[in-house]
Structure 1
């Protein structure tokens, strides 16, 4: 019987290595619209609701700013906003900042794309209702990269979200550069049990999710098959978090990974797995 991850599994905190904490804090507050929840030394935690940490930043010594599409690791992480009105407000804020903005109407969602000062990719998006999502006969979600209706988004903008991302903002998904799709498929689908919801061969990407979502994890080989892992002193993704709905589900995942000989480390009851592309994943339980 094929193992399938629990439908209530979601993503949690993303930790990034950066080169200049002061610069990044200014960016994440003024441009992205997150708030500082806690700051200590070279690290800071960012939140949208004043309670839950979405992003953790750590300034590392002698940091080398990552180059796009050169190594495995982060392509982008995605902040999912609770509604289109909040996305409109975010677009207005990004325009005011003068930052370069990428954009795409993916049919299942509308998305804006930016990069932080260390080239960490960020997607800010809002989903369309699930009732409007369509699938191909093979089960892949129908997605596209059409132009976003900027005028419509700006007209819908919620003034209450003009300066800050609203409560209800979460980590919706993460998109990763990997070194090969077969190994990633075996790890994320075969071992962790994420369901394949987009096997986009022409796109050189694989999308997987829990609970029928359009994707929690995007996996691509746009940095090249066999792409190397980044050097330890490079800015970028330190880890992302998979949040299981209960301890039993996490224990099942850990047991499956351990039986398969996957790389696991434990420090003070915090457990990390490492995927075949040397990407670290924190395995957590919902509070």
Structure 2
């Protein structure tokens, strides 16, 4: 019998390696709209007001900034999910005011804006359309596209309210990764961790997986090249992303499954760390 990850599994904080903490804090506060929750000389956690950390930053010594077009495994982008369309319109207004280069796409299941932080870590800021509007094709894959967004409609949805940063209900919606290969990613994320395949996009050279019928919690691609090497230790980029299981029992079951199948597992103060076949680190924790 196939193992399925619990449907109420979600993603948590993304930890990034960066080159200049003060510069990154300014970017994530002023451009992205998050707030500093805690800070040390070399680290910071950022969140929405009163919320759990969404982005963790660590300034590493002698950091080499990731090139815009990467040739290693690791982060393509992490995606901040806003609770509604007006808040996405407000984010668009903030990005326009900052003068940053903005990518955009209407994915049918969602509307998305794309930016990069000062260390070339990719960021998607998006809002979902209602699940009732999501469609699947004959193969059971979600129908997605990269159509132009309705810029004027988004700006109109924001109204004239003052910008107060990212609102309550903002979460990490998904993470998209450069991997060494789709068969290896399928074996680890689908067969071992139990994520459902929701998009087997062979023409796009990508695989999307999710828990609970979401359009994707993880995007897995081979755009950096099949067999791409891991990034160097001194390069900026993803340190780890977080999977949050609904309770300790489901977390323990996942850890046991990883251990029984030879995956590396390290216990930490607040959960566990494992590594996928592409050398990407994953923090495993639970809500209870």
Count of residue correspondences? 287
TM-score normalised by structure 1 residue count: 0.98
User: Which position in structure 2 is the counterpart of 1:15?
Assistant: 15
Regions of 4+ moved over 2 Å = 158-161, 267-270
Instruction: Please state how far the C-alpha of 1:161 moved relative to its aligned partner.
Output: 6.2
Tell me, which stretches of 5 or more residues in structure 2 are unaligned? none
Q: Which residue of 1 aligns with 2:251?
A: 250
Match of 2:157 in 1: 156
- With over 3 angstroms needed to count, the CA separation of the structure-2 counterparts of 1:191 and 1:158, relative to structure 1, is farther
Contact 1:86 1:161 in 2 (8 A): no
Tell me the residue number matched to 2:109.
108
Shift, 1:269, TM fit: 5.3
What whole-Å deviation, never above 9, does each CA across 1:21-46 have from its counterpart, x for those lacking one? 00001101110000001111200000
Q: Is the 8 A contact 2:18 2:119 kept in 1?
A: yes
Task: Give the corresponding residue for 2:56.
Answer: 56
SS of residue matched to 1:138? coil
- Tell me what 1:180 maps to: 181
1:138 is displaced (CA, Å) by 1.0
Shift of 1:49: 2.8
Could you tell me which residue of structure 1 aligns to residue 2 of structure 2? Answer: 2
Task: Assess, with a 3 A threshold, how the Cα gap between structure 1 residues 118 and 34 changes in structure 2: closer, same or farther.
Answer: same
What secondary structure sits across from 1:202 in the alignment? helix
Aligned-pair CA distance for 1:187:
0.2
1:26 counterpart residue number: 26
- State the distance in 1 between where 2:181 and 2:47 align: 33
Alpha-carbon distance between aligned partners in 2 of 1:49 and 1:269, rounded to the nearest angstrom? 22
CA distance in 1, matches of 2:193, 2:124: 24
Query: Are 1:49 and 1:168, in contact at CA under 8 Å, matched by a contact in 2?
Result: no
State the secondary structure of the residue aligned to 1:242.
strand
Q: CA deviation at 1:61?
A: 0.5
CA distance in 2, matches of 1:95, 1:163: 15
Which whole-Å CA distance do the structure 2 matches of 1:279 and 1:160 have between them?
A: 40
Aligned to 1:213: 214
Give the conservation status (yes or no) of the 8 Å contact 1:77–1:123.
yes
- 1:211-267 deviations in Å (ceiling 9; x for gaps): 000000000000000000001011000000000001111111111110110111123
What runs of 5+ residues in structure 1 fail to find an aligned partner? none
Rounded Cα–Cα distance in structure 1 between residues aligned with 2:70 and 2:203: 18
1:86, 1:158 within 8 Å by CA — same for their partners in 2? no
